[in-house]
Amino acid sequence: MLAYLEQLVKIESPSTDKNQVNLVIDTLERDYQELGLNTRRIHQDEFGSHLVAETPRTDGPTVLLVGHADTVFPMGTLSTDMPFHRKGDTLYGPGVMDMKGGLTTMLFGVKALLESQKSIRGNIRVVVNSDEEPGSPTSRPLWPELAGDADWAFVFEWEPEQGALLANRKGVGVFHLDFNGISAHAGAEPEKGASAILAMVDKIQKLNALNNFDIGTTLNVGVVSGGELPYVIADKAKASIDIRVCNNSEQQRIQRSLEEICSNDNLPGTNCTLTGEFHRPPLEPIEATKELMAQVEEVGHSLGQDISWISAGAVSDANNISAAGVPTIDGMGPYGGRAHSPDEFMSIPSLFYKTTLIAGILKRLVG
- For 282-334, the DSSP string reads -B---HHHHHHHHHHHHHHHHTT---EEEEESS--HHHHHHHTT--EEB--S-
70 is catalytic: yes
β-bridge mates for residue 86, sequence order: 91
Taking the C-alpha atoms of residue 146 and residue 306, their distance in angstroms, rounded to an integer, is 31
Give the list of residues 6+ apart from residue 24 with CB closer than 8 angstroms, or none: 8, 11, 13, 48, 69, 103
- Are 347 and 173 a contacting pair, CB within 8 Å? no
Indicate the helix (H) or strand (E) that contains 32. Answer: helix 18-34
From start to end of 82-163, where are the E strands?
85-87, 90-92, 123-129, 152-155
Amino acid in the structure at residue 85: H
Q: What is the 3-state secondary structure (H, E, C) of 217-256?
A: EEEEEEEEEECCCCCECCCEEEEEEEEEECCHHHHHHHHH
- Are 361 and 105 a contacting pair, CB within 8 Å? no
Task: List the catalytic residue out of 12, 70, 157, 159.
Answer: 70
β-bridge mates for residue 351, sequence order: none
Taking the C-alpha atoms of residue 69 and residue 23, their distance in angstroms, rounded to an integer, is 9
- For 10-23, the DSSP string reads TS--BTT-HHHHHH
Taking the C-alpha atoms of residue 327 and residue 289, their distance in angstroms, rounded to an integer, is 4
If we measure between CA atoms, which residue out of 236, 207, 232 comes closest to residue 221?
Answer: 207
CB atoms within 10 A of CB 226: 19
Task: List the catalytic residue out of 132, 157, 250, 317.
Answer: 132
Total residues belonging to the chain:
367
Catalytic positions are: 70, 132
